[in-house]
Amino acid sequence: MENMDNLELLEEAKKARLKAYTPYSNFKVGAALLTKSGKVYLGCNIENATYTPTNCAERTAFFKAVSEGEREFEKIAIVGAKDGEDANVMCSPCGVCRQVMMEFCDPKEFQIILANGENTCRVMTLEELLPCGFSSFNLK
C-alpha cells in the first residue's frame, strides 16, 4: 500500500476507532500510521480507571510500530468523536502525541491528516502543529 492516499488512510483510522476502549470519556479516537515502507499501523485510545495511564490513539499506533522495529514514518490519519457522533469531525493530536511524533519524524515532512465534517481532510505538517519543537537534535 505504498501509494495509499489520505482518504484511504482515514478509512483505516475509522476502523481503528471501532476498537477504542473509552468507558470514561466515551470519546473514541482511531489513528492509522503509514510507514515509509508502506505498512499501516492502527491505534485506538485506551482509557484507565485512574485516568493518567490513558493512551491516545496516535501513541498506540506509534508504539505498536516502533516496537515492531519501524523507525521511518510518512503520515498519520486521525479521527475522533464522542460515541454516536460524527467521527469526521476534526480531532487534532494532543501535545504529548505531538512530542512523540517529534521523536521519530521530520517535522517539515511528516503529515498529519485530520478529517472534517465533509469527510474531506486538512493536512498539516508536524512543524505546523508543533512549532519550535524540542527533539534529539537539541541534545547533540
Q: Which residues bind ligand DUR (CB under 6 A)?
A: 22, 25, 27, 29, 45, 47, 54, 56-58, 78, 80, 91, 93-94
Q: Is 37 helix (H, G, I), strand (E, B) or coil?
A: coil
Cell 492509522 identifies what position?
32
Q: Can residue 94 be called a binding residue for Zn ion (CB under 5 A)?
A: yes
**Nearest residue to Zn ion on Cβ basis:** 56
Task: Please count the CA atoms within 13 angstroms of the CA of 28 that sit on its side-chain side.
Answer: 16
Measured from the CB atom, is 38 or 134 closer to Zn ion? 134
Q: How far is the CB of 54 from Zn ion (least distance, A)?
A: 9
Which among Zn ion, ligand DUR, none contacts residue 22 (Cβ within 5 to 8 A by kind)?
ligand DUR
90: burial class by Cβ within 10 Å (0-12, 13-18, 19+)?
A: middle
Question: Which CA distances in Å does 124 have to 1, 25, 115, 131?
Answer: 21, 26, 11, 12
With b meaning 16 or more CB within 10 Å and e meaning fewer, what string describes 48-85? Answer: eeeeeebbbbbbbbbeebbeeebeebbbbbbbbbeeee
Smallest gap from residue 122 Cβ to ligand DUR (A): 14
20 labelled as ligand-binding? no
What residues numbered 17-56 form the site for Zn ion, per CB under 5 A? 56
Which one of Zn ion, ligand DUR, none interacts with residue 76, CB within 5 to 8 A by kind? none
**119 DSSP assignment:** S
User: Is position 58 annotated as part of the catalytic site?
Assistant: yes
By annotation, the residues acting in catalysis are 58
Point out which residues bind Zn ion (CB under 5 A).
56, 94, 97
Could you tell me which residues are annotated as the binding site for Zn(2+)? 56, 94, 97
